Amino acid sequence: MTDTTTQAGTAPAAPPQDIRVGVIGVGRMGADHVERISRRTKGARVSVVSDYLRETAEKVSASAPGSRVVDTPEEIIAADDVDAVLIASPGQFHRDQVLACIAAGKPVLCEKPLAMNPQDAYDVVRAEHESGRSCVSLGFMRRFDTGYGELKDALDAGELGTPLILNCKHRNADVLPGFTNVHMVYDSAVHEIDAISFFLEEPVVSVQTITPRSTENAPEGLSDPMLLLLRTASGTVVTDELYVSTDSGYEVRTELVGSKGVATVGQESGMVTTQQAGGRWGGAVPADFRPRFVDAYDAEVQAWIAAVADGSFVAPRSATAWDGYVAAAVCEAAERSLTADGPVEVQLLERPS
């Protein structure tokens, strides 16, 4: 039998309060995060949302019980009923919105990219450093993917020996009209560029972009597929194959070639069927990143909420402002290499101690 008596004079412990999250930008990714926090994240609820399009904000808010809509990101960041901010607006607004969160002393999970160029990203690194406490987490959710975690653990335990080559593949069924070579670098390759920071924990020193002939499915002017060849300070080479007009589905595969073994993650196929009609055998390919990485997004947001609740603000393994700056610096070099002959050197400013 459970003892339910309390000592005389001891008040029962107050139930823990949910972390109240304000979400800035509720398009595709922001609405997905609102749904996740409202339905699947323990210890959190969405309290306020805003979007450039008020109608979009109202529609998404209606799906999050107890939330309200405000007109501007500034109102969210300043709101008394917002303990932590999730930013899912377009990348060009991230720098200013994250800087405002740092100034307000509020923990923030910002979707990638941190900024659209290394200078802006470094502004965030410096501001966070000067504020005296870490509060910026960056939405590189693959760090919370089970396969990524297993590969990282194997590497850290020395099971694969010295990393020699990291082979990455990143494929989409299609992209929106207007997707350019620069988007290929800043929107797509940026995930593998962060994977280098995550797995290898050392800087990229050079990057070369290689453009084979394009598929006839590619939007006008896009070099698709595209290859990135990157070299780290210790000599590990990373290949990144980007192919965003496959017309089939979303695939992300990662293979680490080490001196003691080779490990591959991301080959999940789910159910495999054999069909009599047509005599075909196989599984399904996820339509886009949301079903493919749903567990990783869930784990990322849950880890962030736990870090906000315990006051550490940034979860272990999460990408930080510095990781966002490094990614921006490598993307900028990759962009320059689109019009250069041969590899382009990556320049990194000093990391604040």
Ligand X SMILES: NC(=O)c1ccc[n+]([C@@H]2O[C@H](COP(=O)([O-])OP(=O)(O)OC[C@H]3O[C@@H](n4cnc5c(N)ncnc54)[C@H](O)[C@@H]3O)[C@@H](O)[C@H]2O)c1
Write out the residues near ligand X by the rule CB under 6 A.
Answer: 24-30, 50-53, 56, 73, 88-91, 93, 111-112, 139, 141, 187, 289
Q: Whose Cβ is closer to ligand X: residue 49's or residue 160's?
A: 49
CA 308 to chain CA centroid, nearest Å: 18
Residues 6+ apart with CB under 8 A from 320: 134, 136, 137, 138, 314
- 66's CB contacts (< 8 A; 6+ apart) are 45, 46, 47
Position of minimal CB gap to ligand X:
27
- One-letter amino acid identity for 153? D
Question: At closest approach, how far in Å is the CB of 270 from ligand X?
Answer: 20
Q: What are phi and psi of 214, to 5 degrees?
A: -90, 155
| Shortest separation between residue 259's beta carbon and ligand X, angstroms | 32
User: How near is the Cβ of 173 to ligand X at its closest, in Å?
Assistant: 14
Choice between 73 and 266, CB closer to ligand X = 73
What is the closest distance, in whole angstroms, from the C-beta atom of residue 322 to ligand X in the complex?
Answer: 18
First to last CA, the chain: 54
Cβ distance to ligand X smaller for residue 128 or 194: 194
Minimum distance of ligand X from residue 33's CB (angstroms):
9
- What value does the CA radius of gyration of the chain take, rounded to a whole number of Å? 22
> Could you give the C-alpha distances from 119 to 63, 87, 122, 138, 184, in angstroms and in order?
38, 20, 5, 17, 20
Count Cβ atoms below 10 Å from residue 194 Cβ, excluding itself.
Answer: 24
**Nearest to 251, CA basis, from 269, 236, 233, 234:** 269
**Closer to ligand X at the Cβ: 205 or 319?**
319
CB of 337 to ligand X, least distance (A): 21
Nearer to ligand X, 26 or 238 (CB): 26
Closest distance to ligand X from the beta carbon of 303 (Å) = 14
Task: Please give the Cα distance from 95 to 113 (Å, whole number).
Answer: 9
Q: Which is nearer to ligand X, 21 or 160 (CB)?
A: 21
**Of 25 and 107, CB closest to ligand X:** 25
Rounded to a whole number of angstroms, the minimum distance from the CB of residue 86 to ligand X is 10
Which lies closer to ligand X via its Cβ, residue 152 or residue 191?
191
Cβ contact 139:112 at 8 Å:
yes
Q: How far is the CB of 199 from ligand X (least distance, A)?
A: 17
Cβ contacts of 9 within 8 Å, gap of 6 or more: none
Residue 200 φ/ψ, nearest 5 degrees: -100, -20
Dihedral angle over CA of 260, 262, 265, 271, nearest 10: -120
Cβ closest to ligand X, residue 91 vs residue 258: 91
